[in-house]
Amino acid sequence: MKYIEKDRKNYPKYAQGRAERSNALIDTVKAFLVGGAICTLGQLFFEIYTHFKIDADLSRTLASISIVLITALLTGFGIFDSIARHAGAGTLVPISGFANSVVAPAIDNKAEGWILGVGTKIFIIAGPVIVYGTLASVACGVAYWVIRLI
């Protein structure tokens, strides 16, 4: 038992010594460029849809669906993870990050079956985001309503 306590105390120093060093400036530039490219791709889809005389609201929806579909496909083929490894936070642009967080657990747990694997694990990452995002929006809405009353 004393050995475990000793290891627990030394672990942060051990982990820090083994951690891969990163260049924050280069990582930030990569994240900015990839995140910007994802957003630009979404804007490109919007422009294409509006060019074909599709209503602006529907074009926005179709552009979002297009980004989700592309992200899901890239995740399924294992390409999105490679991009994320280099781009880091740049791939977490909300819509592509959300799509990846839904598809990746579904793929990882497919071997357990469609019900107990995919069905139960598909929202394991995205679920808390949905729950707390919804709660935060309700809290902000209530706060806004109270402030408007005053």
Residues 146, 150: Cα–Cα separation, whole Å: 7
Task: Please tell me the predicted confidence (pLDDT) of residue 68.
Answer: 94
**How would residue 58 be classed by pLDDT, with cut points 50, 70 and 90?**
very high
Higher pLDDT, 125 or 40: 40
Q: Where are the domains of the chain?
A: 24-149
Reported pTM: 0.71
Lowest mean pLDDT among 36-45, 68-77, 88-97, 134-143: 88-97
3-state secondary structure of 113: coil
Strands (E), 20-144: none
Task: Tell me the three-class secondary structure of 44-56, residue by residue.
Answer: HHHHHHHHCCCCH
Per the CB < 8 A criterion, the answer to whether 108 and 81 are in contact is no
Matching residue, tokens 């990746």: 104
Higher pLDDT, 45 or 113: 45
Higher pLDDT, 17 or 1: 17
Residue 110 DSSP one-character state: G
Higher pLDDT, 3 or 13: 13
CA dihedral over 69, 72, 73, 79, signed as positive or negative: positive
